[in-house]
């Protein structure tokens, strides 16, 4: 079984422009990756929103494979916590159910990108 399966928490590094996103894989194919998550630069804001009981605002995004430079599992490295562990420390909640379960319940198990309703920004079109 591939570690890069639906629901796995990952960090995706993109090119043109260079960006990093953290989230849960919704779908992975030769065409690209769909995930529910946030830009890594917005991670602390998302954790603060969740901790304060504000509405959950991560997006469902699709990145075409030609933009994906690297995708890594969100795992701890030595003494450094994974982003999921940092999220859990800050909010007291496991991020996986927040990122995957709510979306799958509302989308019938398919990403919006598979339905053709949402893509990651105009620059990817």
Q: What is the pLDDT of residue 25?
A: 95
Sheet holding 19-28: strands in order across?
Answer: 59-64, 32-39, 19-28, 9-14, 68-73
User: Which tens digit of pLDDT belongs to each residue from 9-49?
Assistant: 999 999 999 999 999 999 999 999 999 999 999 999 888 88
pLDDT bucket at 108, cuts 50 / 70 / 90: very low
Q: What is the pLDDT of residue 73?
A: 97
Q: What is the pLDDT of residue 53?
A: 86
pTM of structure: 0.78
* Measured distance CA(27)–CA(114) in Å, rounded: 8
Q: What is the pLDDT of residue 117?
A: 36
Q: Is the pLDDT of residue 93 over 70?
A: yes
Which has more confidence, 23 or 119?
23
* Measured distance CA(15)–CA(51) in Å, rounded: 31
* Measured distance CA(63)–CA(34) in Å, rounded: 6
Q: Is the pLDDT of residue 103 over 80?
A: no
Are the C-beta atoms of residues 12 and 63 closer than 8 Å to each other?
yes
pLDDT bucket at 118, cuts 50 / 70 / 90: very low
List CB contacts of 23: < 8 A, sequence separation 6 or more.
9, 10, 12, 35, 36, 37, 38, 58, 61, 99
């Amino acid at each position: 079984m591939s570690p890069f399966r639906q629901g796995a928490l990952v960090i995706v590094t993109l090119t043109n422009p260079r960006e990093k996103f953290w989230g849960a894989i919704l779908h992975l194919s030769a065409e690209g990756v769909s995930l529910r998550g946030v830009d890594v630069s917005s991670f602390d804001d998302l954790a603060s929103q969740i901790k304060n009981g504000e509405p959950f605002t991560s997006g469902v995004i699709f990145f075409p494979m030609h933009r994906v430079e690297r995708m890594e599992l969100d795992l701890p490295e030595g003494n450094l916590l994974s982003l999921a562990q940092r999220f859990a420390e800050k909010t007291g909640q496991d991020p996986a159910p927040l990122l995957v379960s709510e979306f799958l319940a509302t989308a019938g198990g398919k990403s919006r990108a598979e339905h053709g309703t949402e893509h990651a920004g105009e620059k990817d079109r």
